[in-house]
Structure 1
Amino acid sequence: MDIYKAGSRPTQSASADYFTGRVTMDPIVSAPEPATVRALSVHFEPGARTAWHTHPLGQTLHVVSGAGYVQKEGEPRQDILPGDTVWIAPHEKHWHGATEETAMTHIAIHEALDGETVVWLEQVTDGEYGAG
């Protein structure tokens, strides 16, 4: 059993290669093999968002504060609020982030397949982000 005391692991800044705006992440769990689960608390400042991406085994998002957006390729952008849970199917191209005016924090849960949890794609353009 491992116990990670609150504040014992540093907050990480998200890479500008995969995110637009200020995004920070706090680890929750990265279970050792043979387990595959990974979870992070991800905080998006207003206007911040991920790039388009997919997950080999899907992803669950659970919004804990603020207001945000999520979008599946080819479908309209959806609003997400605290208490909302989003299931994203394996290989489904999508993005998520905060609204223009409000920060958003969600828990992101996904599994690794052969060590891979995410496939990063192109950045979400300002036009795509603003198209509500």
Structure 2
Amino acid sequence: MTRQLRFLVVDDTDDIRDLMMRMVQRAGHAAEGAADGIEATIALAAHRYDVMLLDLSMPRMSGEDVVRWLDAHPDRADGLRTVVVTAWAGDRRGALHELGITTVLPKPFRRQHLIDLIADITADTDAER
């Protein structure tokens, strides 16, 4: 049986964030949103999530800075799978790898790519149980 996962969707573009949240919810999971890295760290400090869909390029606090914040707060990162959603992944592959990011969803993405990603994460989580 598949358990419901908690997603934190972090993107400064309202339409993209809302689309990703709706798709996560349609897949049977819970989704909360954050409009930038500062909102993300506040949410991460207050709640536990299974998955974070994280944009890299945001005002106030970048996605890379959110990952660095998680490194400084390992108790908040425990069990959290971070997926970077970005148009600039190719330029930052080395930096992302150093930060421990292994999953990237390139922008612009097709809906099916996100549906497949959610299904893969769900299957991975089920296999770990």
TM-score with structure 1 length normalisation?
Answer: 0.27
By percentage of residues, which structure has more strand?
1
TM-score with structure 2 length normalisation?
Answer: 0.27
By percentage of residues, which structure has more helix?
2
Larger radius of gyration: 1
Higher relative contact order (CA closer than 8 Å, sequence separation 6+): 1
